[in-house]
């Protein structure tokens, strides 16, 4: 996991620019992501239990098709592919690996996962979320126009990342 003394960027600040490889091939930059409208960046590590809890709900947001969600994995391509299959996620995965020195995780001040950023079209940070908060996940669903938390879901109100 990326570590450092850096703080997370503040809400309203410009998100640090990046270009990362896509698990599906090619690469993509923050500018390209933001140009399409608001998007959610979700930093994670495959071994993180709270990430494992969170990603199926992020998939529900992704499936709505109105708020793009990008997973930013701190693992290699093979492990990230296995994670996506295990947790049935089809959202685009980007690779910010240990081998590369976690440049994007470090630029964003990531010290725990999952950490998520809602990015506006202009590249500014609209919201920052760390760990699992049922209320925040429901609010993301509201933005995407989908019920992310369903009555049959037995999930905690909060879990630290």
| Domain extents in the chain | 19-147
Please report the pLDDT score of residue 161 as a whole number: 84
Q: Which residues make Cβ contacts (< 8 Å) with residue 31, sequence separation at least 6?
A: 17, 123
CA dihedral angle for residue 35, residue 15, residue 3, residue 5, rounded to 10 degrees: 170
Please report the pLDDT score of residue 3 as a whole number: 47
C-alpha separations of 10 from 6, 29, 118 in Å = 12, 20, 12
Q: In a structure prediction context, what are the per-residue pLDDT tens digits for the chain, which is 161 residues long?
A: 444 456 999 999 999 999 999 999 999 999 999 999 999 999 999 999 999 999 999 999 999 999 999 999 999 999 999 999 999 999 999 999 999 999 999 999 999 999 999 999 999 999 999 999 999 999 999 999 999 999 999 999 999 98
- N-term to C-term CA, the chain: 12
Contact 137/146 with Cβ under 8 angstroms? Answer: no
Please report the pLDDT score of residue 115 as a whole number: 98
Rounded Cα distance, 77 and 100, in Å: 12
Regarding the domain delimited by 19-147, which CATH topology (the fold level of the hierarchy) does it fall under?
Glutaredoxin (3.40.30)
Please report the pLDDT score of residue 149 as a whole number: 96
């Amino acid at each position: 996991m990326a570590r450092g003394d850096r703080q997370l960027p503040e809400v309203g600040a410009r998100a640090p620019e990046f270009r990362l490889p896509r698990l599906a091939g090619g690469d993509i930059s923050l500018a390209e992501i933001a140009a399409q409208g608001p998007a959610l960046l979700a930093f994670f590590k495959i071994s993180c239990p709270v990430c494992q809890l969170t990603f199926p709900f992020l998939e529900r947001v992704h499936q709505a098709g109105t708020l793009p969600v990008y997973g930013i994995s701190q693992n290699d391509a093979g492990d990230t592919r296995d994670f996506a299959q295990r947790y049935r996620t089809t959202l685009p995965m980007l690779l910010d690996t240990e081998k590369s020195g976690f440049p994007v995780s470090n630029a964003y001040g990531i010290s725990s996962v999952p950490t998520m950023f809602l990015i506006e079209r202009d590249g500014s940070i609209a919201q920052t979320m760390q760990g699992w908060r049922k209320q925040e996940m429901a609010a993301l669903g509201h933005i995407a126009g989908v019920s992310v938390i369903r009555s049959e879901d037995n999930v905690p109100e909060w879990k630290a990342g």
